[in-house]
A and B are shown apart, each in its own frame.
Chain A
Amino acid sequence: MSLLEVRNLHVRVGTREILKGVNLRVNAGEVHSVMGPNGSGKSTLAQVLARRESYEVNEGSISFDGKDLLQMKPEEAACQGLFLAFQYPVEIPGISNAYFLRSALNALRKYRGEEEIDAVDFLPFLREKARLLDMDEKLMNRSVNESFSGGEKKRNEILQMAALEPRLAILDETDSGLDIDALRVVARGVNTMRSPKRAMVLVTHYQRLLNYIVPDFVHVLVDGRIVRSGGPELAMELEEKGYSALEGAGAAVVT
């Protein structure tokens, strides 16, 4: 059984159909990349997986670890081990980053019937994760993402991933807005998280990220459908030829 199985997913936003029958299967231990031009539906797919309620699913199914993901609230999906690294992390003035992260971790622990972690034990844990991402400790006491630089926000997403240890991580355009050094650091953080028990889906427009995080599978999403799937070499091909060569091939669904 696959960890994630998306079947014939159709999603609407208002009257517009964004996803028009997406099929995707991800097993534990695999890293998949979903690539596609702007407006192809990549971020919609990521948001639907994380259970954003403003998207209307009118056809298809998603199973996550054998359970019906579409029946889950966002917090339930998270507690089941799903994580979305946001393309645009939200600023939450007034709540410190450390407090937020500890609350999230404790929500997951509570769900799993584990003991909650107190502030004293949490601090060294957080420090270690922050070191992995070269993050200034001062950012932990600042309000969540508030006046963080673009790069700091993205690192903060990966920091959360490292702390919450999901079974399925979806990284939505994590590379956007990162300079090359920040990209390396983020990629290092992601790579240390690779494990036979964990799957990842990297949603990205550019191939650049995939030089640092080499995926097992690459899927190309065009106009709401996955039009090609292949190995890492597919990303290279896209980099060379661009997406335009694939546009119009929307009908030929390759699984």
Chain B
Amino acid sequence: MTALTEFGIDRYIEAFTAFENSAVGSKLPWLRQLRSCAFDQFSHAGFPTARREDWRFTNLSAISQTPFELPVQAEPLSPSQIEDFPVSDKASRLVFLNGRFVPRLSSAAVLRDGITASNLADHLLQDRAAIQTHLGRYLDVGRDPFCALNTAFFEDGAYVHIEKGKTLEQPIYLQFISAGAGRPTMNHPRNLIVLEPSSRATVIEDYVSIDGYETLCNSATELFVGEDAVVSHYRIERERPRAFSMCTLRIQQARNTTVSSHSVLLGGRLVRNNVHPVLAGSGAECVINGLFAGGGAQHLDNYMLVEHAAAHCASRQFYNGILGDRAHGVFHGRIIVHKDAQQTDAKQTNRNLLLSDDAQIDTKPQLEILADDVKCTHGATIGQIDEDALFYLRSRGIDEVAAREFLLLAFAGECLERMSEEPVRTAVGALVEAHVAAVHKGQLVRRAPSAEATPSCEAVR
């Protein structure tokens, strides 16, 4: 096991040695150093095992034992291979294939002065000061080896910059496509979103894949929110059944900022969703909203780390999970209230519906409170479909299958209701509806339980 893992690390060392010299910005000393420090962290730590508290419920051996390679060159892709997502023609749409910008499939809207929505690689050389100020400053490569791997290997990603006082009228839509071609590949999109004081924006990250070989999309986004700025961030993950998807959103909030983060995990084989806001200025508020819905043998892991680093901040976490078949969900909700973060108001809610006996959820709140005048609450529920509600719907003529689906969508709808941007919500809602219906349907056609009941190991323990 160890040998295999170390063999794996050797492969990464080899890849990095070649990559380091050829990568975009390899001539920039600060960037070169950022990458190599991050890689040292990764090669030192390796892929985490379940012995690490942060990874207790997620087995990464499928990732550590797959010989992922960096993509060689962008395969030609036709517009029809791009997943549809209805945003306005006036919105900027940036498409990345295996972590590289594809101008041909992108449409940058005419943006007002002071608003930039482009790809990071182009700006690394032009816009150095602004990028150097923020890039790599917030992401903790020591804590998370995947963040280290991303920092070491990123080639491109989105760069969004909103100048002071500017408002982005239309959302910026980013699509990240992973495509394996004859062998397992990995890509590491890196996004930097900077909102200067009093600006406003909505950014959508949409992760998709083209079926074929195993792919690993290991993305990271640093979102800096200047004083009084307001931002909504969406992450949609709807990758193919063989895809691995690791994603980190690191949010840095200054005074009086308002952030909403919405994550919707639908596809993929093994998915990890890290959301890590740091409320670093007083009066900052964030809503961390999410939905994860899985069937088959999907593994959907959500790791929240909400850090209250300043006084008078408020955070709200709401995550709902729907798990059918043999799917496994994780919600790890960590809240850290630093010593000076008095008058913190933090709330965490995780609700889960299990549709089968084999579906599993691990939900774990973890509160670390170092200040003495705070209000922190957490609650988790695990349940099945409410029989009273089911009867209520059926008594109105809605058949049982439809009624169950109805209630699943209602449960998912709680998360959709918190999304305040239209038409984004409607578009996300349509994706959620189709996927939840499929999970439910998969549940229905699933083999009938065998007659001779064998107690599972879990039950015996």
Q: Is A84 among interface residues, defined by CB-CB distance under 8 A?
A: yes
Q: Is A86 among interface residues, defined by CB-CB distance under 8 A?
A: yes
Contact A104 B410 (CB under 8 A): no
Q: Is B392 among interface residues, defined by CB-CB distance under 8 A?
A: yes
Which residue of the partner chain, among B396, B411, B412, contacts A164 with CB atoms under 8 Å? B396
Which residue of the partner chain, among B386, B397, B400, contacts A104 with CB atoms under 8 Å? B397
Interface band, chain A: 20 to 34
Which residue of the partner chain, among B386, B392, B402, B416, contacts A86 with CB atoms under 8 Å? B392
Interface residues of B (CB under 8 A from A): 386-389, 391-400, 402-403, 406-407, 409-414, 416-417
Contact B391 A74 (CB under 8 A): yes
Q: Is A182 among interface residues, defined by CB-CB distance under 8 A?
A: no
Give the distance to chain A from B441, nearest Cβ to Cβ, in Å: 18
Which residue of the partner chain, among A51, A78, A91, contacts B396 with CB atoms under 8 Å? A78
Which residue of the partner chain, among B395, B398, B411, contacts A103 with CB atoms under 8 Å? B398
- A86 and B396 alpha carbons, distance in the complex (Å): 11
Which residue of the partner chain, among B389, B397, B398, B409, contacts A90 with CB atoms under 8 Å? B389
Q: Which residues of B are found within 8 Å of A94, using beta-carbon distances?
A: 409-414, 416-417
Q: Is A148 among interface residues, defined by CB-CB distance under 8 A?
A: no
Chain A, 76-94, contact with B by CB distance < 8 Å: what is the 0/1 string? 0111000110100111111
- A91 and B400 alpha carbons, distance in the complex (Å): 18
Q: Is A52 among interface residues, defined by CB-CB distance under 8 A?
A: yes
Interface residues of A (CB under 8 A from B): 50-54, 73-75, 77-79, 83-84, 86, 89-95, 100, 103-104, 107-108, 111, 143, 160, 164
Contact B395 A84 (CB under 8 A): yes
Given A93-B410, A103-B406: A52 and B391 interface contact (C-beta under 8 Å): yes
- A90 and B407 alpha carbons, distance in the complex (Å): 12
- A93 and B399 alpha carbons, distance in the complex (Å): 19
Given A90-B388, A90-B389, A92-B410: A50 and B398 interface contact (C-beta under 8 Å): no
Which residue of the partner chain, among A74, A108, A111, contacts B394 with CB atoms under 8 Å? A74
Contact B402 A95 (CB under 8 A): no
- A152 and B407 alpha carbons, distance in the complex (Å): 22
Give the distance to chain B from A231, nearest Cβ to Cβ, in Å: 30
- A92 and B408 alpha carbons, distance in the complex (Å): 11
Residue of A nearest to B398 (CB): A107
Extra 8 A-B pairs, beta carbons < 8 Å, given A75-B395, A103-B402, A107-B398: A50-B391, A52-B391, A74-B394, A75-B397, A78-B397, A94-B411, A100-B393, A107-B402
Q: Which residues of B are found within 8 Å of A100, using beta-carbon distances?
A: 393, 396
Q: Which residues of B are found within 8 Å of A108, using beta-carbon distances?
A: 397
Contact B397 A111 (CB under 8 A): yes
Q: Which residues of A are found within 8 Å of B389, using beta-carbon distances?
A: 90-92
5 contacts between A and B (CB under 8 A): A78-B395, A79-B397, A92-B393, A100-B393, A143-B410
- A104 and B402 alpha carbons, distance in the complex (Å): 11
Residue of B nearest to A86 (CB): B392
Q: Which residues of A are found within 8 Å of B413, using beta-carbon distances?
A: 93-95, 143
Contact B394 A75 (CB under 8 A): yes
Contact B397 A107 (CB under 8 A): yes
Give the distance to chain B from A115, nearest Cβ to Cβ, in Å: 16
Contact A164 B414 (CB under 8 A): no
- A160 and B413 alpha carbons, distance in the complex (Å): 22
- A114 and B398 alpha carbons, distance in the complex (Å): 15
Q: Among the interface residues A92, A93, A94, A111, which one has the most CB atoms of the partner chain B within 10 A?
A: A94
Give the distance to chain B from A93, nearest Cβ to Cβ, in Å: 6
- A107 and B406 alpha carbons, distance in the complex (Å): 13
- A108 and B402 alpha carbons, distance in the complex (Å): 13
Q: Which residues of A are found within 8 Å of B387, using beta-carbon distances?
A: 54
Q: Which residues of B are found within 8 Å of A74, using beta-carbon distances?
A: 391, 394-395
- A83 and B397 alpha carbons, distance in the complex (Å): 9
Give the distance to chain A from B141, nearest Cβ to Cβ, in Å: 39
